[in-house]
Structure 1
Amino acid sequence: MNNTLLYVITVLIWGTTWIAINYQLGDVPAEASIVYRFGLAALLLFAYCRVKKLSLAFNRKQHLQFLFFGLMLFGCNYYFLYSAQQHINSALASIAFSMIMFFNVVNARIWFKTKITQQTYLGALLGLTGIVVLFWPQINDTELGAETLLGLSLCFVGTLFASTGNMVSMKNKLMNLPMMQANAWGMFYGSIFMTVLLLAQGKSFSFSYTLPYISSLIYLSVFGSIIAFASYLTLLNNIGAHKASYASVMFPAVAVVISTIFEGFSWNIYTVIGLLIIVAGNIAVLTKPRKKNVIMTP
Structure 2
Amino acid sequence: MAEPSRGGVAVPFILVTLIWSSTWIVIRDQIGSVPASWSVCYRFLLAGVAMAAFARWRGIRLGIGRSGILYAALLGLAQFVLNFNFVYRAEHYLTSGVVAVVYAMLLIPNSILAFLIFRQPVGRAFIGGSVVAVAGIILMLLHEYHVATVSPDMVLLGAGFALAGLMSASAANVMQGMEIARRLPMVAVLAWAMLIGAGVDALFAFATVGPPQFDMRWGYVAGIGWLALAGSVVTFPLYFTLIQRMGAGRAAYTSVLIPVIAMLISTVVEGYRWSALAFAGALLAIAGMGIALRSKAA
**Contact 2:175 / 2:181 at 8 angstroms: preserved in 1?**
no
Alignment counterpart, residue 8 of structure 2, candidates 2, 25, 30: 2
For the residue of structure 2 that corresponds to 1:28, the secondary structure is coil
Matching residue of 2:202: 195
Matching residue of 2:221: 214
Deviation at 1:246, TM superposition (A): 4.1
Matching residue of 2:231: 224
2:177 and 2:81 mapped to 1: Cα distance?
18
> For 1:28-67, what aligned pairs fall within 5 Å after superposition?
28-67=34-73
Alignment counterpart, residue 247 of structure 2, candidates 224, 236, 240: 240
Q: Which has the larger radius of gyration?
A: 1
CA displacement 1:155-195 (0-9 Å, x = unmatched):
22222111111122222655511111111111111101101
Alignment pair present for 1:124 and 2:130: yes
2:11 and 2:133 mapped to 1: Cα distance?
21
Alignment pair present for 1:184 and 2:191: yes
1:30 and 1:132 mapped to 2: Cα distance?
26
Deviation at 1:48, TM superposition (A): 0.9
1:42 and 1:24 mapped to 2: Cα distance?
19
2:134 and 2:244 mapped to 1: Cα distance?
23
Deviation at 1:203, TM superposition (A): 1.5
2:224 and 2:94 mapped to 1: Cα distance?
23
Alignment pair present for 1:98 and 2:104: yes
RMSD: 3.0
Q: 5+ residue gaps in structure 1?
A: 292-298
2:270 and 2:204 mapped to 1: Cα distance?
35
Matching residue of 2:76: 70
CA displacement 1:31-53 (0-9 Å, x = unmatched):
11111111111111111111111
Question: Structure 1 residues 240, 192: CA separation in 2 closer, same or farther (over 3 Å shift)?
Answer: same
With 183-192 and 10-19 compared, the bigger mean Cα shift is at: 10-19
1:237 and 1:290 mapped to 2: Cα distance?
15
For the residue of structure 2 that corresponds to 1:56, the secondary structure is coil
Deviation at 1:144, TM superposition (A): 8.6
Return the structure number with greater helix share. Answer: 2
For the residue of structure 2 that corresponds to 1:55, the secondary structure is coil
For the residue of structure 1 that corresponds to 2:89, the secondary structure is helix
Alignment counterpart, residue 166 of structure 1, candidates 173, 186, 207: 173
Taking structure 1 as the reference length, what is the TM-score of the superposition?
Answer: 0.83
Deviation at 1:10, TM superposition (A): 1.8
Question: Structure 1 residues 212, 194: CA separation in 2 closer, same or farther (over 3 Å shift)?
Answer: same
2:28 and 2:270 mapped to 1: Cα distance?
13
**Contact 2:12 / 2:238 at 8 angstroms: preserved in 1?**
yes
Matching residue of 2:114: 108
CA displacement 1:54-108 (0-9 Å, x = unmatched):
1111211111111011001111111122223334444653454334322112110
Q: 5+ residue gaps in structure 2?
A: 1-6
Taking structure 2 as the reference length, what is the TM-score of the superposition?
Answer: 0.83
Question: Structure 1 residues 26, 144: CA separation in 2 closer, same or farther (over 3 Å shift)?
Answer: closer
Question: Structure 1 residues 248, 144: CA separation in 2 closer, same or farther (over 3 Å shift)?
Answer: farther
Matching residue of 2:261: 254
For the residue of structure 2 that corresponds to 1:85, the secondary structure is helix
**Contact 1:131 / 1:252 at 8 angstroms: preserved in 2?**
no
Q: Aligned AA for 1:69?
A: L
For the residue of structure 1 that corresponds to 2:92, the secondary structure is coil
Alignment counterpart, residue 152 of structure 1, candidates 128, 142, 159: 159
